[in-house]
Structures are given as C-alpha cells and as structure tokens.
C-alpha cells in the first residue's frame, strides 16, 4: 500500500468572512464553522478562538486534538466511518495541514479532561503548545447525558477538521512524504536478511467514555487485527476517550503516531516493517486473556523477529500490557514495551500495576505524578470551573493567587505512551 502525504505548513490562523489558505495563512469564518459544528442538535453552542505558541493562554477542559486533512486521491476519505463512508484508506494522496490543530473543549464530560498552556512551564510538557490551535468550545443542550455529549463534541471536531482540511484540496504541498508497505510475500523476497518487525498498538477501550474507534467501530468490540500502518494517516483510528489527559492519545496523535513514523524510517534499512497490529484493553480477565492470546498468535503466524508494544492509559491496562509482552516473548519474539509511570509524587512507588521478567526492554514516557506549578495566565479559553476535579488535580489545585498546583497528569500529552512528547529516562 502506497500513500503520498502532502504537507502544507500553516504559519498563522485568522478569522475572516471568506475561508481559504493563502501564503501559509489559514482564514476561517466563525459563522461558517459554527454552522458546521451545530449541525448536531445535541450542542447548544459552539464558540471559536485561536491560541498561538508563546501566548499567555490556557485551554481547558480539552477533549480532543485533531489535525485537518483531506483525501485528494485514492479510495475512501478522512475519518472513515465518521465523516467518510467506510472504505479502506491509506493509499493514494492525502494532504495534511501541519503546524496547526483543531482543539475541542467545553464543560467537563468526566474527570479526565486536559489542560494545554501555550506558555510557561506547562507548555514544556505538551506538544500542543507548539501548534497554532483553532479552539472550539462546545456546550451541550440541557439534560444531555455525558456519553451523548462526548459523541456530539467528537463528531463536531471531525466535521470542522474535515471542512478546514478541504480548503487545501487544490493547493500544492510544501513537502511530500511517501510511505509504502509490502505484502507479506513481497517483504520476504525484498528484505530476506532484515529482521521482521511489527507494531502492536493497544487501544484504550475500557468501558463507557474509555473508547477508541477503528473505522467507526468501538475497539472494545474487536479482536486483534492487522492493518496497514498507512491507514492511520487517514484517520482510521480516532479518539473517543476521556482517560487521563497526560497519556491518552488524541486523534492528532493517532494521525501522527511517532512509532509508525520511526518504523517507516527504518523500513528497508535496518528492519522489515511487516504490519501494524491493533488490540484492545479490557476490563475483565477473560477478555484480557483472549486479546493477548490472539495478539501473540498473530505475531507467531507472521514469523516476526521483534515487536514494539505501546500502551494507552495506566493501572488496569498495565495488566493487558504485561500479558501481551509475556505471551509474545514466549513465542521467541523480542519485545519492547512503551509505557508511562505512576510512581507517586516522590517517585518511590511501583511504577506499573503489573510486572513480569519478560518486560526487560522498556521505554518510559515519564512519571505522571510529578508535580508542577502552573502560573496564572492572561487568557482562558474554556473554563476553570472543573479544574479541581481533573485527574491529577485536587481540591487545593486552584490557589488564591490564580496559580495551579497539579500533577503533570492534567496536561494533555505530557506522558504520551507512543512517544509523542518530551519525557523519557535513561
């Protein structure tokens, strides 16, 4: 499968009556975008704002972050199963608006929404302080249940991101990158001496508001499955979960998964990147056993030499992570796991809820319990009404002087378990 990803770099975003991209500047209409957002009658209002790197701006509660993209050639369209009809994506041409993001926010759904600071110490922990953010703050109609509100905001974000991406359809990309995968047979013939490596991505799927979707299907309903790694670039995987902000993968991260990016860089040079395997994270022991057995079976059937496994979330999913590691390793396949840690504010607690001797090659994305003081910023997009309730905060988080004492757990993307962040350890 071959995909040409055209990159169009956005240098600024401005509000204007006429929507367009001109000389690297994205012009958007509040009126037009509001119509798109409010085409769902579950939302009472949608307000738009812009947050730029370095500005004294705080965005909270953050729900999702999305990169606008448009399918220019090839089957299907962006966000299949949501915006586009269900069709296999990952081939042809796709354009991405780089350097910007659509950020959805609004009154809290659960207690695990996030914070994005565009400046100060909080900005050092989130990759989304470096993007120019088109922020959409959505409020639900009165009496709407949490799961319906989450879905309405999620879909509104996809609609807006798709509409913004559509503005790039007729443009020439500033840069184009080509990603190409082989069939199993082609890979064996083309790279007979290179180690066969696959990526096992664990998707958060542990109940209501802990959802990730694959082609529109809730991952809790899937058995481990194989996809081409190029499919994620077209939005085949999207976020619908409200787990802790530090280590949940917003849709933007799925679209730009750095594990996939790095494996493509090494493909044909140091490894044969065979495939991308998707598995879920489960609540009950029997389901955990089933998914991990299937994952290990697929790895064995593909005659893999090495596997990278990434987690999403912490605590209960640590069991799924260790089960996958243990069973894949038992098949004689070298396994590396990527996770983050919850080692307590002093760093002295057990980092993971589960462990096994086979987990002897670990990449850490940092300790989510680390405490940071976030200064009072000049502008707030969203509301601080729920800041004391967010996971990683406490009743005393909002201090009298307006500063916030929080664990970095509250910061969107602070301990990304696919490495889309800045923390690790040596």
Per-residue pLDDT at 102: 98
Structural domain includes residue 422: no
325 tagged catalytic: no
Assign 242 a pLDDT band (cuts: 50, 70, 90).
confident
Query: pLDDT at residue 21 above 80?
Result: yes
The parent domain of residue 181 ranges over 2-410
Q: Residue 282 — φ and ψ, nearest 5°?
A: -115, 165
The CA–CA distances, whole Å, from 5 to 173, 176, 180, 235 equal 9, 6, 11, 13
Its pTM stands at 0.96
Structural domain includes residue 47: yes
Structural domain includes residue 143: yes
- Evaluate the CA torsion angle 353, 356, 358, 360 in order and state its sign: positive
Structural domain includes residue 424: no
- Token output for 30: 């509040």
Residue pLDDT, tens place only, 339-370: 999 999 999 999 999 999 999 999 999 999 99
Structural domain includes residue 421: no
- Evaluate the CA torsion angle 332, 183, 190, 361 in order and state its sign: negative
DSSP letters, 327-373, are: HHHHTT-EEEEEEEE---TTS-S-SSS---TT--SEEEEEETT-EEE
Assign 426 a pLDDT band (cuts: 50, 70, 90).
low
Q: Residue 312 — φ and ψ, nearest 5°?
A: -135, 120
**Residues 242, 246, 275, 299: which is the catalytic one?**
242
Q: Count how many domains the chain has.
A: 1
């Amino acid at each position: 499968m071959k995909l040409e990803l055209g990159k169009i770099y956005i240098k600024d975003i401005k509000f204007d009556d006429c929507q367009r991209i001109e000389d690297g500047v994205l012009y958007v209409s509040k009126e037009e975008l509001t119509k798109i957002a409010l085409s769902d009658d579950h939302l009472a209002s949608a307000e738009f704002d812009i947050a730029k790197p370095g500005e004294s701006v705080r965005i909270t509660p953050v729900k999702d972050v999305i990169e606008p993209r448009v399918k220019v050639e090839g089957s299907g369209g962006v966000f299949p199963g949501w915006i586009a009809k269900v069709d296999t994506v990952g081939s042809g041409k796709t354009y991405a608006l780089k350097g910007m993001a659509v950020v959805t926010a609004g009154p809290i759904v659960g207690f695990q929404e996030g914070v994005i600071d565009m400046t100060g110490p909080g900005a050092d922990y989130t990759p989304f302080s470096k993007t120019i953010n088109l922020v959409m703050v959505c409020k639900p109609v009165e009496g709407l249940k949490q799961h319906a509100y989450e879905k309405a905001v999620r879909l509104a974000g996809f609609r807006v991101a798709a509409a913004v991406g559509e503005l790039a359809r007729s443009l020439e990309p500033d840069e184009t990158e080509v990603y190409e995968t082989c069939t199993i047979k082609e890979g064996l013939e083309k790279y007979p001496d290179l180690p066969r490596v696959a990526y096992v991505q664990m998707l958060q799927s542990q109940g209501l508001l802990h959802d990730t979707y694959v082609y529109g299907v809730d991952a809790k309903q899937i058995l481990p499955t194989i996809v081409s790694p190029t499919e994620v670039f077209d939005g085949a995987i999207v976020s619908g979960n409200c787990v802790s902000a530090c280590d949940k993968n917003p849709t933007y991260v799925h679209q730009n998964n750095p594990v996939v990016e790095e494996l493509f860089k090494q493909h044909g040079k140091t490894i044969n990147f065979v495939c991308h395997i998707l598995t879920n994270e489960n609540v009950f022991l029997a389901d955990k056993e089933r998914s991990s057995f299937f994952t290990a079976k697929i790895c064995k059937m593909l005659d893999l030499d090495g596997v990278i496994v990434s987690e999403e979330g912490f605590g209960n999913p640590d069991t799924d992570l260790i089960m996958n590691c243990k069973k894949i390793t038992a098949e004689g396949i070298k396994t590396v796991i990527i996770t983050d840690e919850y080692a307590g504010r002093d760093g002295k607690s057990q980092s993971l809820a589960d462990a096994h001797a086979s987990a002897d090659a670990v990449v850490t994305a940092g300790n989510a319990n680390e405490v940071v003081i976030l200064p009072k910023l000049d502008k707030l997009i969203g509301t601080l009404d729920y800041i004391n309730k967010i996971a990683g905060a406490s009743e005393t988080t909002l201090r009298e002087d307006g500063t916030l004492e929080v664990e970095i757990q509250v910061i969107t993307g602070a301990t990304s378990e696919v490495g889309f962040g800045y923390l690790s350890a040596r």
